[in-house]
Amino acid sequence: MAGHSKWANTKHRKAAQDSKRAKIWTKLLKEVGVAVKQGGPDADSNPRLRLAMQNCRGGNVPKDNIERAIAKASGAGAEDYIETTFEGYGPDGVAVFVECATDNNTRTVSAVRSYFTKCGGSLGKDGCLQFIFDRKSIFTLARESVSMDDDDFMMEMIDAGAEDVDYSDDEFIMVIAAMEDFGSVSTKLHEMDIEPKEAGLKRIPNNFKALEGKSLEMFEKLIDLLEDNDDVQQVYHNLEFNE
């Protein structure tokens, strides 16, 4: 694809600053803990844990940190996290979908609602954004991990079940597939000895809204508040990027 990428909203989270890197590591390691509580500490028999560990490696989380997170979640008295979502609208009706993992749902609901209100938005009812976001399998690959010609690699991915391969980023290649084709594309990448920097099911907007001026400033503040909250794992939105 050339020019504006409709997948820009899902680009790999980069962590140039130490503080930002620490936040990302915290979220990645929390997913490890949630996966362990859900399916046990054996990655061979727990695909969610296997994926969480892979994403930790892609985010350069030290191996010791990953092992400590697994041990902590396996121990007696380990925190139980509730997975919950919020759907709402930011300034001028930009859609915002928030995924959380929390040990105190009351605290999280209060915080998320206050962020939306403070930034000129509002929470909506569950399901209000179901027609705006599609669930897709997204694999983010470092460009240097793919040695094949772009066209040849795209054909390999399409044959494995991918819908699209996005080359618009200078550092990363993004492979997009239907939700139900996550396994087949993941298996193909493994056979090609390519480990994604990040992989998972993500919410992709099918329409976009543009903002400018004060509305854009308030929207950016909303996203910063949400992403800085330790209970928030992922934030999706349909703001249009001008690249």
Task: Provide the 8-state DSSP code for 93.
Answer: G
Q: Report pLDDT for 205.
A: 96
What angle, 0 to 180 degrees and rounded to 10, lies between the N-to-C axes of helices 47-58 and 18-39? 170
Instruction: For residue 35, count other CB atoms closer than 10 A to its CB.
Output: 23
**3-state class percentages of the chain: helix first, strand second, coil last, to nearest 5:** 45, 25, 30
Give pLDDT, residue 98.
Answer: 98
pLDDT at 29: 96
**Structure token pair of residue 147:** 């040695």
Confidence (pLDDT) at 162: 97
**pLDDT for res 22:** 86
Distances (CA, A) of 166 to 4, 11, 199: 11, 11, 14
Give whole-number Cα distances, 96 to 56, 208, 233, in Å: 25, 11, 13
Q: Find the helix or strand (DSSP H, E) in which 235 lies.
A: strand 232-237
Q: How many CA atoms lie within 13 A of 119 on its CB side?
A: 27
Q: What is the pLDDT of residues 133-165, one digit of tens each?
A: 999 999 999 999 999 999 999 999 999 999 999
pLDDT along the chain (243 residues), means of 10: 51 58 92 95 95 95 96 86 96 97 96 98 96 96 95 97 94 96 96 96 95 95 96 96 63
Domains and CATH numbers, the chain: 17-74 (1.10.10.200), 82-128+208-237 (3.30.70.980), 133-205 (3.30.70.980)
